[in-house]
Amino acid sequence: MHIGPVSGIIPVARFGSPFENKGVRFKIMEVLLEEDKHWWFASRTRAIFALLDPLVLNSTNRVLDVGCGAGNMFHHLARYGEVWGLDNNIKPLKVARERGYIVPLGMAEAMPFPDAQFEIITLLDVIEHCDDDRAVLAECYRVCRPEGFLVITAPAFQWLWSYNDELNRHRRRYSAGSLRQLLEEAGFQIRRLTYGYFFIFPLAASLILIRERLHLHPRLASPHFDEEAYQVEMEPAPPALNALLTVIGRIEATLLRWVNLPFGTSIMAIAQKPG
């Protein structure tokens, strides 16, 4: 997902084959993407940190970002260790390679990695795109090291299905119950399972339903329909609204350190492979 070309990446190291011990690390404070300024992405990143930071006690991990696209999360995930990526779409991978990343083209259902290679695996708004989500989770389990973590974010509640899901070619949306069942069937243990964008949920859900009823669809670029686009454009917000929603996201991230939230437009899970 996101908005047009971005710049400002300052990688400290590039990497080639994932098993040449050449992970990618960043001087995190020196990296800034345009998408980091958008309230939706900023709030998701802070929520991930709130859930994962208490569980990951060092920065020496191997991290795999499945469905990494153009590598927009690499500089954030680098706080946990060396980051690798995988994607099945050559369009965003071209952008990732222009940024200095070397990431393989491959399928989440059949990853080109040996067993038990990564301490942290992320599926950040990815699994809803996959025809066979069970096969994806089985592969994540295979390449995850014992006691390693799987991080998932995905859209919540099938009844919120909208034009945005069509634009992104989503296959489904999830509830806490459905995601829990999938993760446990794959062999993972649930460490955290919560909804996100909790505070804005009443307004956001109402807006989604009204737009669908009235067929009011924003015109946004998508690589599925536009030759020039490498990822789906995120709907822009006026600066004042963006600032307000960013503050709300900060408050929610603070709350997520302590409690799981009962509803929201997104769902987030931290699952662990048993040792």
For residue 1, is it within any domain?
Answer: no
For residue 253, is it within any domain?
Answer: yes
In terms of residue numbers, what domain contains 248?
A: 28-272
Contacts of 58 (CB under 8 A, 6+ apart): 81
Q: What is the CATH number of the domain that holds 105?
A: 3.40.50.150
For residue 20, is it within any domain?
Answer: no
For residue 247, is it within any domain?
Answer: yes
Angle at 170 between CA 77 and CA 66, to 5 degrees: 25
Angle at 191 between CA 187 and CA 193, to 5 degrees: 100
How many domains does one find in the chain?
1
Asked if 269 and 152 touch (Cβ cutoff 8 Å), the reply is yes
For residue 73, is it within any domain?
Answer: yes
pTM for the whole thing?
A: 0.86
For residue 18, is it within any domain?
Answer: no
For residue 10, is it within any domain?
Answer: no
pLDDT of residue 163: 87
Asked if 186 and 179 touch (Cβ cutoff 8 Å), the reply is no
For residue 13, is it within any domain?
Answer: no
Give the whole-angstrom CA distance, residue 54 versus residue 57: 7
Q: Could you read off the pLDDT tens digit of each residue along the chain, which spans 275 residues?
A: 322 222 222 232 333 333 333 444 444 334 567 789 999 999 999 999 999 999 999 999 999 999 999 999 999 999 999 999 999 988 888 888 888 877 999 999 999 999 999 999 999 999 999 999 999 999 999 999 999 999 999 999 999 999 889 888 999 999 999 999 999 999 999 999 999 999 999 999 999 999 988 987 777 555 556 655 555 657 788 999 999 999 999 999 999 999 999 999 999 999 999 99
